[in-house]
Each structure stands twice: as structure tokens, then as C-alpha cells.
């Protein structure tokens, strides 16, 4: 079945540091890929998405590129802020099934210190 593997956390960075959170996936079909962010005590917010190979999703300074050859969708940000502290989830959704459920990674907790 489908699966998503995220780099283990937690990740602690200083403000303005460069962020990379690795994500690789396994899917039988041809999935869409997503990054969600969850702030403490809140629900899931879609951060960015990509629907086909070589697509780059971007939002709020975060970027991720759909790499079919390496089955990866790594999240990057050039300069993190304290307000970026949250849990980040990589997820996929298989376009080839009517159900279209999402499969999530374990989540990576990011803490940004001033």
C-alpha cells in the first residue's frame, strides 16, 4: 500500500536558519503530494501541494518539488521564523482511486528559537 516516510524529528533551528524536512513516498499509483502544518492545539492546514512530476509547490516562503525519480517531496525554507514552529506532515493522495484518501507521514516537529 501507499506510505510516506518523513525525516525523524524533532528539529530545532535558530531564527533565519535554512530548513529542510525530508519526505519520501511509496505509491502504487501516481499521487498528488501535500505538506500540511499543524500549530499547537489546532487542526491541519494545507501548506502547499504538487500534482505532477517536477511541479513546485510554494507558500509563505516554503517550497517543495515533486521528484518522481527519487520519489521525494522535501520541504524547504530559506529563513525560518519563530512563528514557523509547528508540526509538519507530508502526505499523498492517489489520483487513481475514487476514494482518494490521504496517507500521512509521522510528522516532524519544528521548533525555531529566537
Partner 1 sequence: EPEVTQTPSHQVTQMGQEVILRCVPISNHLYFYWYRQILGQKVEFLVSFYNNEISEKSEIFDDQFSVERPDGSNFTLKIRSTKLEDSAMYFCASREWTSGRDNEQFFGPGTRLTVL
Residues of this chain that interact with partner 1 (CB under 8 A) are: 32, 34, 36, 42-46, 49, 51, 89, 91, 93-95, 97-107
Shortest distance in whole angstroms from residue 112 CB to partner 1: 20
Which of 1, 15, 5, 10 is closest to 90 using CA atoms?
A: 5
* Residue written as grid cell 502547499: 48
Which of 2, 9, 5, 1 is closest to 109 using CA atoms?
A: 9
**CB closer to partner 1, 73 vs 89:** 89
Shortest distance in whole angstroms from residue 86 CB to partner 1: 14
**CB closer to partner 1, 70 vs 98:** 98
Distance of CA 87 to the CA centre of its chain: 10
Shortest distance in whole angstroms from residue 69 CB to partner 1: 20
**CB closer to partner 1, 43 vs 114:** 43
**CB closer to partner 1, 73 vs 78:** 73
Concatenating the DSSP letter of every residue in 27-81 gives -SS-EEEEEEEE-TT---EEEEEE-STT-EEEETTEEEE-BTTTTB--EEESS--
Shortest distance in whole angstroms from residue 46 CB to partner 1: 7
Amino acid at each position: 500500500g501507499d506510505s510516506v516516510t518523513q525525516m525523524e524529528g524533532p528539529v530545532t533551528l535558530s531564527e533565519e536558519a535554512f530548513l529542510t524536512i525530508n519526505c519520501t513516498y511509496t505509491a502504487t499509483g501516481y499521487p498528488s503530494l501535500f505538506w500540511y502544518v499543524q500549530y499547537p492545539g489546532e487542526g491541519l492546514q494545507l501548506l502547499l501541494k504538487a500534482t505532477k512530476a517536477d511541479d513546485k509547490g510554494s507558500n509563505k516562503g516554503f517550497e517543495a518539488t515533486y521528484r518522481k525519480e527519487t520519489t521525494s517531496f522535501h520541504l524547504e525554507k530559506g529563513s525560518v521564523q519563530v512563528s514557523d514552529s509547528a508540526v509538519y506532515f507530508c502526505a499523498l493522495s492517489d489520483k487513481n482511486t475514487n476514494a482518494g484518501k490521504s496517507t500521512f507521514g509521522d510528522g516532524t516537529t519544528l521548533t525555531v528559537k529566537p
